[in-house]
């Protein structure tokens, strides 16, 4: 195989790998516009920068603790979990900060451990900061279906909804993303 074909094959593998394993991230801000025809919305962040997000096929909107498939409104203050694709960003979970979720935020990361005796979850966020959360009355989901905490595995990638009041964080929901 000559060098040109080898480089072409290597580039194709790298690009296809990036598409399949798009990085996931979280942004926060205010919805500037919603375009239902194009299935997109524009978010303005705290630095007044606009970002456009595609509305994913399975996107969930959590408004005051109630989930739906579409309920975005101009002016909503949100946290959005999304996949960073090569050409566009695709929203998969939107937390509207109002009512019961007004002081809540989304956190992405990895499960480090769970202590059944103390009912505490150890979690490493995307910034590599470890935090321990009491499970309390938090809900637990695997691929958006309710499950028990016993089904969570060390290393599972997860999205948390955490309520933050006076600097204290309370876990409200643990959503594990697992493909098997």
Q: 1-60: per-residue pLDDT in tens?
A: 455 444 344 434 344 333 344 589 999 999 999 999 999 999 999 999 999 999 999 999
Question: Residue 114's pLDDT is what?
Answer: 95
C-alpha distances (whole Å) from 173 to each of 19, 89, 112 are 28, 24, 16
Q: What is the mean pLDDT of residues 151-173?
A: 93
Instruction: Record the pTM.
Output: 0.84
Tell me which DSSP letter residue 13 carries: H
**Structural domains in the chain, sorted by start:** 23-101 (2.40.50.320), 104-177 (2.40.50.320)
Question: Residue 59's pLDDT is what?
Answer: 94
Bigger pLDDT: 97 vs 15? 97
The 3-state DSSP class for residue 6 equals helix
Burial 65-97 (b: 16+ CB within 10 A, else e): eeeeeeebeeebebbbbbbeeeeebbbbbbbbb
Question: Residue 12's pLDDT is what?
Answer: 40
Question: Residue 180's pLDDT is what?
Answer: 64
Q: DSSP letter string over 77-126?
A: EEEEEEEE-SS-EEEEEEEE-SGGGTTEEEEEEEEEEEETTTTEEEEEET
């Amino acid at each position: 195989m000559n060098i040109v074909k080898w480089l072409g094959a290597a580039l194709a593998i790298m690009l296809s790998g990036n598409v399949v394993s798009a990085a996931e991230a979280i942004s926060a801000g205010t919805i500037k516009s919603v375009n239902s025809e194009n299935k997109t919305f524009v978010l303005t962040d705290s630095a007044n920068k606009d970002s456009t997000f595609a509305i994913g096929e399975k996107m969930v909107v959590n408004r005051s603790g109630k989930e739906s498939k579409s309920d975005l409104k101009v002016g909503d203050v949100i946290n959005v979990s999304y996949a960073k694709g090569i050409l566009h960003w695709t929203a998969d979970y939107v937390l509207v900060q109002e009512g019961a979720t007004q002081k809540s935020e989304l956190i992405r990361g990895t499960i480090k451990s769970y202590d059944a005796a103390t009912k505490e979850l150890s979690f490493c966020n995307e910034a590599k900061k470890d935090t321990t959360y009491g499970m309390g009355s938090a809900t637990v989901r695997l691929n958006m279906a309710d499950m028990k905490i016993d089904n969570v595995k060390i290393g599972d990638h997860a999205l948390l909804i955490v309520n933050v009041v006076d600097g204290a964080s309370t876990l409200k929901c643990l959503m594990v993303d697992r493909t098997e």
